Amino acid sequence: MTTTSYTEASTSRFADLTVGGTGYRIHYNDIGAGTVVAMLHGSGPGATGWANFSRNIDALVETGHRVLLVDCPGWGQSSPVVCTGSRSDLNAEILRGLFDALGIEQGHVIGNSMGGHSAVAFALANPGRVGKLVLMGGGTGGPSLYAPMPTEGIKLLQGLYRDPTIEKLKAMMNVFVYDPGALTAEQMQMRLDNMLSQRLHLDNFVKSLAANPRQFPDQNARLHEISAPTLIIWGRDDRFVPMDVGLRLLAGIADARLHVFSRCGHWAQWEHADAFNALVAQFLDD
């Protein structure tokens, strides 16, 4: 039974971190108590930890976990950044810095899309500090062997960053999820308002792509180095990162299992929240 007694505002925290000689003010939400589960969001305009994982917090907290929702640099209330190197590595270093600041030696890491890429980078750089990994629609297993790259969804995402309008947001969300009819007009407007309130983040993302189009390096050759038990979750109908990329992660990571949701796009934790929550909770507690 859900006993939610927290809000986004009441769990909001900040940490001042230094990575590579640069200072970052990082926003995160800290909910619950127990084994740490850090959740890393995707790269969509207006994304935040809370927005990406609001349907999953209760299930993890109620099964005895302390949930950290991290806003990566360039998103939410965290510091702006023009990233000229690997975004995956930067986010991984931010997570390590946050663990250090909070006195956390080890935690599970859940990553969606860009968050999956960042979770893999964290596991490769800090093998002793990750318990288990959950990767959804990302993990830098390389480009799809079958779908044209960049994919339809990624092209729409980049177009939205350059020209953030409600029409372009709707066009992106129509391929982001399997059933766009489940998204309300109010949710769309809230997402647009969130994007427009952080115009510097939007502009910096475009500048970052111009400086380095390969923000998320292919780690396929290093996946065998990951020893953490890994749950890979994919939507069969993902039009942002095709399912064969998930198969490459499964082949490369030794202790990995794959779950595929039918009638599911790029947002499994939102589109199939109840089944996702049960699957992840069981995996983390096995």
By annotation, the residues acting in catalysis are 266
β-strands 65-70, 35-40: how paired?
parallel
Give dist(CA 116, CA 269) in Å, integer: 13
Contact 230, 257 (CB under 8 A): yes
Q: What is the dihedral of CA 217, 84, 137, 67, to 10 degrees?
A: 120
Three-state SS for 18?
A: strand
CA 96 to chain centre: 16
Residue for token pair 């990750």: 130
Sequence-distant (≥ 6) Cβ neighbours of residue 100 within 8 angstroms: none
Which amino acid type is present at position 82? V
